[in-house]
Amino acid sequence: MLTRRIIPCLDVKDGRVVKGVKFEELRDAGDPVESARAYGAAGADELCFLDISASLESRGTLVQLVERVAQELAIPFAVGGGVRSVADAEALLRAGADKVSLNTAALAQPSLFNEVARIAGSQSVLAAIDAKARGPGWEVRSHGGTRGTGRDLIEWAREAVDRGAGEILLTSMDHDGVKRGFAVEMLQAVTAAVPVPVIASGGAGAAEHFADAFDAGAAAALAASVFHFGTLSISAVKQTCVARGFPMRWPP
């Protein structure tokens, strides 16, 4: 059985880590460089950095800040937000990112997956998908979750992988920040549809929720506020997951 991963997420706005509920009501959660250093020491398996306002503000990711964060880390580091071209992706990889997350720009130009995978390899291409329940399925959202796309989640996940995405970061907007658990049904549907690892995001509130996500097929589980504000420690989450039978990098 593959080792599962626990991934803290730094949602960054105006150079600060922030966290809200369902992508709204953001509150300050600290300095990204200090947070990265602390999570690296606490046993995180990877770190995710998302510049959450870059697409809305039609600008690139904060490359200099990414570079400062990368200098603090000895674990894999994924970066997204405002990646609109191959040149943007290359700049982030040069700044120290191991993976580049594509979301809004790829929805407008799906070939961006192909182009970035061609120069960096699929292992460095992360398809970030924000989805919201709609009818019997889920609709993909863009621009930090603020705009509907009309795209079906399962169809988009398959297309992203077919075009070169080596991993999917799947965020449930309905569960984000609510702390009642990950979107298990959505996770099961996506993990059954694609052959690449899926990272569960949105809804963690207890250590058991991470194990539930792994039961649903997730290869990794990502969380923000429960780690940022001290509700859970990475060590406690890993202990719970090991007790449920999931291999973890241990001790953290």
Residue 130 known to be catalytic: yes
- H or E segment at 120? helix 111-120
d(CA 211, CA 16): 30
Q: Kindly report the CA angle at 239 between 233 and 240, in degrees rounded to 5? A: 95
C-beta atoms surrounding 192 within 10 Å: 11
d(CA 159, CA 194): 9
Q: Catalytic one among 45, 51, 98, 130?
A: 130
Residue 11 known to be catalytic: yes
Asked whether the beta carbons of 151 and 129 are under 8 A apart, the reply is: no
Q: Residue type for 181, please?
A: G
For 111, phi then psi, to 5°, come to -65, -10
Q: Catalytic one among 11, 45, 51, 88?
A: 11
What Rg value do the Cα atoms of the chain yield, rounded?
16
d(CA 20, CA 228): 12
Residues designated as active site: 11, 130
